[in-house]
Structure 1
């Protein structure tokens, strides 16, 4: 009989196969005289695949945990610019009502430019004045920057934030699942190896020559 498949047909929602726990080693290997070298090699190959996926997902998790705060900061800034513009509009409407009531009242005029600092790199910042604007520029990656109207930019950033948070949640779940499968495969490997050691020892004991009756009498003398 041949040994069973390494991976189970059961998978997690992202398609990562589950590692079945080997309960009956002799039955799994296909008999008491089965060779364990092949199954142990396949176990090691499966472990290598699981560990490779674990390393890849760990890097993805670190990237997302760094990216999500940046998206949140950008979204907060664009929403601030939106609220500032909406506040200015409301102020203009109030000014029109005040002018109707008192024509001698002076206009408040446009709001003062907003002074802020923006990051050029990890340790270098520059100061800038933000005028009243309805357009923002967003880095999309790969040295690509596009201009968006503020409402469109907010919609885009919210969708990217939601997608990144969902991906991070799924990545964390996949990492937990992978580490469970790595543990199962390590236990399977140890159990098969120990079973083979025990089988070899029992085989040597059976094959060892037993003392004859004359040898036993000689030892007693």
Structure 2
């Protein structure tokens, strides 16, 4: 993301306003506001992805814990006593015999059976990927915050430049009239 849409801070607003396409301050402010809105939209999408990952990571960790517990229990003949979720806040008690197979939800209403070792390996890989993605999202969100600030500063500079220019033009008009 960082390479694709970096906003440069306007140091010399006067020369910037003389560039082609920057005829009026209103036009430039509209462009900057459009850019700002795009960044806000990107931020919203990234924040939603971040929320999904932040809820997904604990679920993966919890499932890995359960798999580790099942790994220990599979060597015994004692069944594992547990509670499982039937619906929101509705749990059912179960007695699970030792097993070396588990079923994992993969998403999109797909569930597959795995050996416990395979399931553990898959979930560890998924956890590492989710953690990397979360770190990357944090960096992208930090980058976007910098872009917001730079865009806001640029908008303020263009606005202030326009106010000074109009004030100067009005002063020149009043001097010419007198």
TM-score > 0.5 by shorter chain: yes
Structure 1 unaligned spans of 5+: 1-10, 89-109, 213-221
CA RMSD of aligned residues (A): 1.8
Aligned to 1:134: 100
Q: Highest CA radius of gyration, 1 or 2?
A: 1
Aligned to 1:64: 53
Give SS of 1:129's match. Answer: strand
Higher RCO (C-alpha 8 Å, min separation 6): 2
Displacement after TM superposition at 1:173 (Å): 1.0
Change (3 A) 1:121 1:16: farther
Which residue of 149, 154, 157 corresponds with 1:183?
A: 149
Displacement after TM superposition at 1:45 (Å): 1.0
2: CA distance between counterparts of 1:68 and 1:150? 19
| Superposed CA offset, 1:82-113 (max 9, x none) | 1222xx2xxxxxxxxxxxxxxxxxxxxx6221
Aligned to 1:29: 17
Change (3 A) 1:204 1:129: same
Which has more strand, going by share of residues?
A: 2
Structure 2 unaligned spans of 5+: none
Taking structure 1 as the reference length, what is the TM-score of the superposition?
0.75
Which residue of 20, 26, 40 corresponds with 2:8?
A: 20
Aligned to 1:153: 119
1: CA distance between counterparts of 2:128 and 2:84? 25
1: CA distance between counterparts of 2:175 and 2:125? 77
Change (3 A) 1:158 1:43: same
2: CA distance between counterparts of 1:132 and 1:195? 75
Kindly tell me the number of residue pairs found equivalent between the two proteins.
Answer: 176
Displacement after TM superposition at 1:119 (Å): 1.6
Taking structure 2 as the reference length, what is the TM-score of the superposition?
0.92
